[in-house]
Amino acid sequence: MICVRSYPEYLGEVSGYNYIEKKGRIPGAIFADCGSDAYHMENYRNLDHTTREYNETAEIWKSQGITPDKHLAFYCGTGWRGSEAWFNAWLMGWPRVSVYDGGWFEWSNDPNNNFETGVPEAYANAK
């Protein structure tokens, strides 16, 4: 699972949306460093809001361990950022990509689903 949300959303500091109560991420999700909040994807776009060159996005992803040899399921809060990231990967020809369009909104509304908050142990140990 690839979390295409802001870092505060990923850490569980904010949900990103006033209508989403719970804060956190899907267990084991990898942070994809998309932007500053739930309404922006500036790390994947140029100043004129066009999509960045594919190699720039691929470098962001590779720095997080997101590579084309894995099956990647992108998600965000409600679906639009995850869908945009999926589309970028698909355009780059990455073979096994999907989008979890229900995103954090759907995941967090199911009482049977667990979630994580804070800095993942793997990230904390890497620093």
Which of these is catalytic: 38, 58, 76, 89? 76
Instruction: Tell me if residue 76 is catalytic.
Output: yes
What the block records as the tokens of 67 is 């590579």
Q: Could you tell me how many residues make up the chain?
A: 127
| 3-state SS, residue 22 | coil
The three-class DSSP label of residue 99 is strand
Element at 109 (helix H, strand E): helix 103-109
Active site residues: 76
